[in-house]
Each structure stands twice: as C-alpha cells, then as structure tokens.
Amino acid sequence: MATRFEFVEFLTRSAAPAEVLAELLRLRVELPAGRTAEARHTAQLFAEHGAGDLALQTLAAAAVASPRDVDLLSQLSQQQLSAGRTLEARTTLQRAIAIEPRKGLQAQLAVIDRVLALDPALPRLGMVARTRRARLLLSAVVARTSKCAPALPEVTRLRHEASRGGRGAADAARAERELTLAAGLWSAAAACHGEDVESRAIAEILERLGTVSAQR
C-alpha cells in the first residue's frame, strides 16, 4: 500500500491526472476492509483530483466496514456536504458525535446547520424559498464583511449594490442577481474569510454554487 501511494505521488508530480485517477481506482479495489487510514487518504486524493463522487464512494464503503471510526465519519460528512448532500452530512456527523462528542465535530455540525438555514440550492425548494434564501445569504455576507473588509472600491461598490437589492426584478432574476452579488462581495473581501461558523458556512455555499454555475 505504501508503495502504491508513493507511485500516486510520483504520477501527481509528473502532471498525469488521468494516470493518477486510474492508479487510485486500482488502489481502491485492493484496499483491505478495515484499513480506514488508507481509505481516507485515497478519498482525499480523489477529491484533490476532482473526483468527488469517487471520494464519496470510497468513504461510504469504508464507513460500512468501520461504522464507529469517528475520523472516517467526519471526513465522510464533509465530503457529503461538499457534494450538496447536506442532510446526509448532518446525519453522518450526528452518528460521529454520538460515538465521541468532540468539540471540533460540534463546530462542524454548527456549520452544517447554518448551511441548511441559508443554502438557496437545497433540493425541492420553490422559487419563493429560493429567493428568500438568496436575500438571506447576501445579508449574511454583508454582515460578515461589514467590519473586517477594507474600504476597497470594489467592496464599496458591491455593498452599495447589495443595499439596493433586486427591486423591480422577477423572483428568478432577483435571486440570481443577489447570489452573484454575494459571491462577488465575498471574493472581494478576502480579509473576512475565517474559520468561524458563519465564514465556513458562507464559503461552503458559495463554493458549491460557483461549481454548479461553472458546470452549466
């Protein structure tokens, strides 16, 4: 196993992404059940190389074999969150906390709860709910950046735009406009990006929304 991981690192340094994924797939097939450290490492490498679905599958399979591995469940929850499977992420993390209520896991659960409260892209949301959540997300970004962001021209301009909102626009257009403003303001106010619950939740939502937009 150690040699296989070293070979993956060699392929990564050689800028051969297709070969890296092929080797990771072979490695995953050969992983013995219960080798959670290697499974987590493999999943992390899948995620780093843009194969989030394979990372999720690797972690989910390992969790079946080792259902009480708290570190594994925590990583699985984070991968589910990144994939937009927020309710599943919450359930997985609650399982981990029931086994061992670590402080870090409680903070991670708080992030997921905040994502559930703000995310306008949750499944089965109607247009009214999506529009309301777009406004809530923009308001959260404005509030989070109100004290820490320097008075840069771009930040000032985007704050002014945010204060105007989407008046007169239809619900769909207004939601898209406010989400674009939220992403732009958050990107411009890099000094505000932190490890507190609010920052992590905002970053998680906007990163996923940006990925979805790029795939359209």
- What is the chain's percent helix, strand, coil content, to nearest 5? 75, 0, 25
What number of residues does the chain have? 216
Q: Domain check: are 191 and 210 in the same one? A: yes
Predicted local distance difference test score (pLDDT) of residue 16: 77
Predicted local distance difference test score (pLDDT) of residue 160: 87
Query: Could you please report the per-residue DSSP string of 151-193?
Result: --HHHHHHHHHHHHTTTT--HHHHHHHHHHHHHHHHHH-GGG-
H helix and E strand count, the chain: 11, 0
Predicted local distance difference test score (pLDDT) of residue 41: 95
Q: How far apart are CA 210 and CA 212, in angstroms?
A: 5
Q: How far apart are CA 145 and CA 159, in angstroms?
A: 9
Query: In the chain, how many domains are there?
Result: 2
- State the pTM of this model: 0.84
Confidence of residue 14 (pLDDT cuts 50, 70, 90): confident
Measured CA to CA in angstroms, residue 68 lies from 57, 74, 75, 93, 104 at distances of 17, 11, 13, 12, 17
Residue 191, both tokens: 């000094």
Q: How far apart are CA 148 and CA 20, in angstroms?
A: 41
Q: Check pLDDT > 70 for residue 213.
A: no
Instruction: Output the domain CATH number for residue 51.
Output: 1.25.40.10
Single out the residue of 79, 89, 90 nearest to residue 45, CA to CA: 79
Domain of 179? 127-215
Q: How far apart are CA 120 and CA 209, in angstroms?
A: 9
Residue 87, both tokens: 């309710």
Q: Domain check: are 140 and 185 in the same one? A: yes
Considering 91, 118, 145, which residue would you say is the last residue of a domain? 118
Q: Domain check: are 136 and 63 in the same one? A: no
Q: Domain check: are 155 and 176 in the same one? A: yes
Predicted local distance difference test score (pLDDT) of residue 174: 85
Predicted local distance difference test score (pLDDT) of residue 169: 53
